[in-house]
Structure 1
């Protein structure tokens, strides 16, 4: 029996050594690339698993699970840096990890998040040490002129995405690129819009998309949220949406929306004014643009949060009141 255990132990050691040898061989072998060179953007705040998936999707043929093991074995987990990387043919898995750990970026990135207000985008751009900050002392209106925009108010007019740039690029170019991206996306959505929508211009659809963006984080619910607001517009009902009121309060908002806030008139208070607010209230993403221009086929006029991240939609006020009792008042 003792001899058997010794043999099993020896077999385990041999297999472990073989696995370690095979892993070391793999870590030093050239990787397959979908092209040469391959450019991959690693987004800020990505975990090791996410970085592995981004590399694979970007054209670096490497199993994300093996990548995670290699990163942990080399101790570079906390060192991986965001940015745009260029990988040439012949690079090995160890070479990829080393490049990411050293931050050998060929492009830097600024990520603009869906639902941000423009002031948050400006803060993110201003915080980038790799950009040349030519807009630092500009007002929002002056910035819009600098990028060649016809609009004076910037809210909603920049597409949320991850933008690449070279060191010492002007932030004006980044803003111009994001502005043109939104114009392109908005025009595509507008050209594919449903019939008989209550919008006169693409800009009004953009305003609606920004409201949808702020009302829900559930992508599947956005067409229904848009349907409710479109139906209310058609009936000349007030939209009565809290995010517009909060936007009208501005930086004074302390996180607590009070009854008096709903009763205090501002251009953005959709409890005191009919129709759409005068500008967007956030930077909407692609799904919200699509929902605003192609809302779900529904007669719903109301919705209430269930408390689990989803909403209950109602066609009539009595039905809505029952839903409010059930989901918010606990009756």
Structure 2
């Protein structure tokens, strides 16, 4: 009798062990199944989402197969239970286990938003407003109100942010992006101001930023920036009007239709450097580090004029006679095209 009982116990143990190892192998096989996606996909795990709920979500999207062993996964793999709320990116080279480990890691996907050098604040607002991954807090606010929220003591925000690519997690606010861009701009501007050339006709780092924004709009040719800067610095030193078209365009605002006419050059706006002496009251665009450094470290030259060469660059002149000759050459080249 005892032998029979012992035999039955052994059989029972073997059956339980066999069942355990079978379930374990099925679970492990299930966890190593590759995700059925061809392109990276964004997954948002809400606060309080359970392991089973997360897997059900993946099944609903047909990214994994369903299984009758799902209820055993958290028992056999308790390390997979602590999912962290966030937005993640899964890729086609992942299996289910790797996806779940990503949800546990809390390493959220970094979205990106890019602002180009020479862009204007009105364009930044449109870019921020159209990004679906940002929390939008600026809708309906005036530029002055945004300035107050940022703690910036200027009503005009043009030029006060560094144009580059910013990475962020889902739900970060548009205001936070602007704060980061403003801090980065100030860091670069202050460092460049501390290392500036002596004897510049600039009273403050803000005036340097204004000049940098004009340089930014005048040329995209990297090695021309310091030459362009030298022309403007020379003109400022001689109390000559800057006479730069981008400032006229900025002053025209929505009235600019792609053309500058003679009447526009005579229009008395605060930004028309054909009319006013010195710099305009604010920057006219977002300047990059290269233009900021060029504004504060211009070439040592005698140039007072420049005009487009027709080949992507500019022709620089020391006298009005030379400049007029370069203008005629440019116009001739344009007509021949």
TM > 0.5 fold call: yes
Query: Which residue number in structure 1 is paired with residue 41 of structure 2?
Result: none
Deviation at 1:169, TM superposition (A): 1.1
Q: How many residues align?
A: 238
Contact preservation (8 Å) 2:108, 2:169? no
Contact preservation (8 Å) 1:306, 1:328? no
Does 1:272 find its partner at 2:293?
no
Query: Which residue number in structure 1 is paired with residue 190 of structure 2?
Result: 187
Q: Distance in 1 between matches of 2:157 and 2:303?
A: 32
Deviation at 1:329, TM superposition (A): 3.3
Q: 2:264 aligns with which of 261, 265, 271?
A: 261
Deviation at 1:85, TM superposition (A): 8.8
Q: 2:162 aligns with which of 155, 159, 162?
A: 159
Q: Provide Cα deviations, 1:98-148, integer angstroms capped at 9, x if missing partner.
A: x9xxxx971111111100011001110111111111111211111111111
Query: Secondary structure at the residue paired with 1:303?
Result: strand
Identify if the C-alpha distance between structure 1 residues 329 and 105 changes in structure 2 by more than 3 Å, giving closer, same or farther: farther
Query: Which residue number in structure 2 is paired with residue 198 of structure 1?
Result: 201
Residues 42-121 of structure 1: pairs in structure 2 closer than 5 A: 94=93, 106-121=109-124
Does 1:305 find its partner at 2:308?
yes
Q: 1:240 aligns with which of 231, 240, 243?
A: 243
Query: Which residue number in structure 1 is paired with residue 63 of structure 2?
Result: none
Q: 1:214 aligns with which of 214, 217, 238?
A: 217
Query: Secondary structure at the residue paired with 2:332?
Result: coil
Q: Rg larger in 1 or in 2?
A: 2
Deviation at 1:280, TM superposition (A): 0.3
TM-score normalized by structure 1?
0.68
* C-alpha RMSD of matched pairs (Å): 2.3
Deviation at 1:86, TM superposition (A): 8.5
Q: Distance in 1 between matches of 2:236 and 2:277?
A: 8
Q: 2:288 aligns with which of 285, 289, 294?
A: 285
Q: Provide Cα deviations, 1:38-67, integer angstroms capped at 9, x if missing partner.
A: xxxxxxxxxxxxxxxxxxxxxxxxxxxxxx
Identify if the C-alpha distance between structure 1 residues 190 and 282 changes in structure 2 by more than 3 Å, giving closer, same or farther: same
Contact preservation (8 Å) 2:135, 2:171? yes
Deviation at 1:327, TM superposition (A): 2.1
